[in-house]
């Protein structure tokens, strides 16, 4: 089976590689939209015009399921895209529920793009799963571009992660696949103080259910 994986830039490549390792018998087709990166500061109606043609192209190329490896697209456009695209779409969104379930301090941090943090879907996740805990939303607005440009500001990342830990966060959610490329750095900073969550394994589990 062909499985499509879409993201705005290189972030989703880590997801595609994780799926490839977990499902070696399947063919993984990765597509991105590097010419319009970053997505996380753009409005949903603009993003729809970028994303739909790429997804339709994956369908034409024979993909029977597509992973939307972009939290920004998943939290703002997934329902509309599901109406327009003829194959199942697997969405990726911030892991608010698992974070809320694992925190012992009652404080979690969601590292995500501005558009994701402003989305109704993200607000609904917080209402449903995190109404009784404190949710920190640090400013990560420049992270996707610096990762895409391979100009990672390690000091800035350390400042952000240290700040949320100081404020009590014991769970840190990576709510953008670009951030997977700096996951090791974040885990080193958070070691012994906070756990770091990202959704690659959850996506693989969901894909296995679809395939079966």
| Catalytic option among 63, 70, 111, 140 | 70
Question: Is 176 annotated as catalytic?
Answer: yes
Question: Where are the chain's structural domains?
Answer: 2-92+200-211, 96-197
Please give the full DSSP string across 89-143, using - where no structure is assigned.
EEE----HHHHHHH-SSSEEEEE--HHHHHSHHHHHHHHHH-TTSEEE----TTH
Closest CA to 75 of 121, 108, 23: 121
Q: Whole-angstrom Cα distance, residue 9 to residue 212?
A: 30
Backbone φ and ψ for 64, nearest 5 degrees, come out as -100, -10
Pick the CATH number of 2-92+200-211 from 3.40.50.1860, 3.20.20.70, 3.40.225.10, 3.40.50.1100: 3.40.50.1860
What pLDDT is stored for residue 11 in this prediction? 85
Question: Is 111 annotated as catalytic?
Answer: no
What pLDDT is stored for residue 2 in this prediction? 96
Helix 71-84 × helix 120-129 angle, to 10°: 110
List C-alpha distances in Å: 5 to 36, 41, 45, 127, 199.
Answer: 17, 21, 21, 29, 14
Same fold, 2-92+200-211 and 96-197: yes
Architecture in CATH for domain 96-197: 3-Layer(aba) Sandwich (3.40)
Closest CA to 92 of 13, 171, 30, 7: 7
Residue partners of 28: CB distance under 8 A and separation at least 6: 2, 3, 5, 16, 19, 20
| Catalytic option among 63, 111, 140, 176 | 176
What pLDDT is stored for residue 107 in this prediction? 98
Question: For every one of its 212 residues, what pLDDT tens digit does the chain have, with 9 covering 90 and above?
Answer: 999 999 998 888 999 999 999 999 999 999 999 899 889 989 999 999 999 999 999 999 999 999 999 999 999 999 999 999 999 999 999 999 999 999 999 999 999 999 999 999 999 999 999 999 999 999 999 999 999 899 999 999 999 999 999 999 999 999 999 999 999 999 999 999 999 999 999 999 999 998 88
What pLDDT is stored for residue 212 in this prediction? 83
Q: What is the pTM of this model?
A: 0.92
């Amino acid at each position: 089976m062909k499985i499509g994986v879409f993201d705005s830039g290189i972030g989703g490549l880590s997801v595609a590689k994780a799926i490839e390792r977990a499902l070696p018998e399947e063919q993984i087709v990765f597509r991105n939209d590097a010419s319009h990166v970053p997505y996380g500061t753009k409005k949903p109606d603009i993003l729809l015009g970028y994303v739909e043609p790429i997804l339709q192209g994956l369908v034409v190329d024979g993909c029977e399921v597509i992973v939307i490896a972009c939290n920004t697209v998943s939290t703002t456009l997934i329902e509309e895209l599901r109406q327009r695209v003829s194959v199942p779409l697997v969405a990726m969104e911030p892991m608010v529920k698992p974070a809320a379930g694992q925190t012992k301090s009652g404080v979690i941090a969601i590292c995500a793009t501005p558009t994701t943090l402003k989305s109704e879907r993200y607000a609904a996740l917080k209402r449903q799963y995190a109404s009784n805990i404190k949710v920190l939303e640090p400013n990560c607005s420049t992270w996707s571009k610096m990762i895409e440009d391979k100009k990672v500001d390690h000091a800035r990342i350390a400042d952000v992660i240290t700040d949320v830990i100081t404020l009590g966060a014991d769970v840190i959610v990576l709510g953008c696949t670009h951030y997977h490329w700096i996951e090791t750095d974040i885990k080193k900073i958070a070691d012994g103080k906070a756990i770091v969550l990202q959704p690659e394994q959850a996506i693989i589990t969901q894909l296995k259910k679809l395939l079966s």
